[in-house]
Amino acid sequence: MRMGYYPGCSLLGSAREFNESVRAVCEAIDLTLEEVPDWNCCGASSAHVLNHDLALALPARILAQAEAAGLEEILAPCAACFNRLASTRATLAADPAKRQEIVELIELPYSGRVRVLNVLEVLERYRDRIEAKTVNAFRYKVACYYGCLLVRPPDVVKFDRPENPQSMDRLLATVGAKPIDWACKTECCGASFSVTRTDLVAQLGGRIVADATRRNAAAIVVACPMCQSNLDMRRPEINRQLQQEQRIPVLFITQALGLAMGIEAHRLGLQRHLVPVELPEPELEVVGDDDDEDD
């Protein structure tokens, strides 16, 4: 199988381990990723608050490049990239006049036929293959953290449930994990306030880390580079906010699945984490065990 791939800026910089683990898992399930030619930044969380047309033109150019390459679908693992691409596609489909303006701006043909997928959508599509490739069941309690952008706004992303999503839970259950019931599944981590208001990120991230820890999760699992960065890189600030050291690791969904599929840790980029990925011995009794300490 062949699918377009838009890594975006984060996956080649601060989230290299996400890129590495996405590629490793896709290779293991025989999914060939074809990078969008000559791609550019999507504008992330900045362009749309500064210049509306620029915020549309940047993702539109990416989608136009994908069309020109003959791609029908593209995987955008970064939640912010996925959100910007999907939102732009929806906006231009609903407003032909604006679409024509943007086409003239980017100087490329654009029809809007390329579908944008997030990493959970793609992995769910190949869940049977992931299950068949599982050799080391990931037998841990895990906190599935979706963040803000993967499931919102629901009328645009059209993916999962906006308040209580389940796709990551199903994927991890497939490889032997036990997703916990917890309060912070779709709470905000502070996003780009990590730079300008680290104190707010420490407060928001502290709530997430504390709740997952209180419910005895062995790891927080994410599908967003910003979420992972804020909960991992800002752990010193989070620990000061909580006034105690929390060492729960924050894994990308592809890293957790990759470990279950027997992919080597270095190919999944686990050595790049700032909070060491130190998991206990597998809790074999966890799967199917209804005795939680979640209350």
Query: Are 165 and 205 part of one and the same domain?
Result: yes
Structure confidence at residue 46 (pLDDT): 72
Query: Are 105 and 156 part of one and the same domain?
Result: no
3-state helix, strand, coil in the chain (%, to 5): 50, 10, 45
Last residue within a domain, chosen from 56, 87, 119: 119
- Per-residue confidence at 196, pLDDT binned at 50, 70, 90? confident
Please provide the distance, in angstroms rounded to a whole number, between the alpha carbons at the two ends of the chain: 44
Is residue 82 situated within a structural domain?
Answer: yes
Return the structure tokens found at 256. Answer: 């957790």
In the predicted structure, residue 175 carries a pLDDT above the cut 90: yes
Query: Are 58 and 86 part of one and the same domain?
Result: yes
Query: Are 173 and 82 part of one and the same domain?
Result: no
Q: What are the tens digits of pLDDT across the range 228-287? A: 999 999 999 999 999 999 999 999 999 999 999 999 999 999 999 999 999 887 764 544
Return the structure tokens found at 123. Answer: 């992995």
- Per-residue confidence at 291, pLDDT binned at 50, 70, 90? very low
Is residue 154 situated within a structural domain?
Answer: yes
Is residue 261 situated within a structural domain?
Answer: yes
For 72-110, b/e burial (b = at least 16 CB within 10 A) is: ebbbbbbbbbbbbbbbbbbbbeeeeeebeebbeebeeeb
In the predicted structure, residue 293 carries a pLDDT above the cut 50: no
SS3 188: coil
Residues 19 and 6: their CA atoms lie apart, in Å, by 10
Secondary structure E strands in 97-190:
115-117, 141-145, 178-179
Query: Are 105 and 22 part of one and the same domain?
Result: yes
Overall domain count for the chain: 2
Mean pLDDT computed over every residue of the chain: 93
Domain encompassing residue 65 = 2-119
Last residue within a domain, chosen from 55, 89, 119: 119
- Sign of CA pseudo-dihedral 286, 171, 175, 254: negative
Is residue 62 situated within a structural domain?
Answer: yes
Is residue 279 situated within a structural domain?
Answer: no
Q: Which 8-state DSSP code applies to residue 34? A: E
CB-based contact 41:8 (threshold 8 Å): yes
Is residue 124 situated within a structural domain?
Answer: no
CB-based contact 134:175 (threshold 8 Å): yes
Query: Are 209 and 262 part of one and the same domain?
Result: yes
For 177-198, b/e burial (b = at least 16 CB within 10 A) is: bbbbebebbbbbbbbebbeeeb
Domain harbouring 86, CATH code: 1.20.1050.140
Query: Are 228 and 264 part of one and the same domain?
Result: yes
Query: Are 103 and 143 part of one and the same domain?
Result: no
Query: Are 217 and 173 part of one and the same domain?
Result: yes
Structure confidence at residue 41 (pLDDT): 95
Structure confidence at residue 158 (pLDDT): 87
Count Cβ atoms below 10 Å from residue 61 Cβ, excluding itself.
Answer: 23
Is residue 131 situated within a structural domain?
Answer: no
Report the candidate in 10, 75, 1 with the shortest Cα–Cα distance to residue 36. Answer: 75
Domain harbouring 159, CATH code: 3.40.50.11810
Secondary structure E strands in 236-292:
250-252
Query: Are 56 and 85 part of one and the same domain?
Result: yes
Cis peptide before 153 (omega within 30 of 0): yes
Q: What are the tens digits of pLDDT across the range 43-73? A: 987 777 789 999 999 999 999 999 999 999 9
Structure confidence at residue 281 (pLDDT): 76
Return the structure tokens found at 161. Answer: 């449930």
Return the structure tokens found at 290. Answer: 């209804």
CB-based contact 84:41 (threshold 8 Å): no
Query: Are 178 and 207 part of one and the same domain?
Result: yes
Query: Are 35 and 109 part of one and the same domain?
Result: yes
Is residue 155 situated within a structural domain?
Answer: yes
pTM comes to 0.93
- Per-residue confidence at 174, pLDDT binned at 50, 70, 90? very high
Residues 44 and 7: their CA atoms lie apart, in Å, by 13
Structure confidence at residue 77 (pLDDT): 98
Q: What are the tens digits of pLDDT across the range 65-120? A: 999 999 999 999 999 999 999 999 999 999 999 999 999 999 999 999 999 999 99
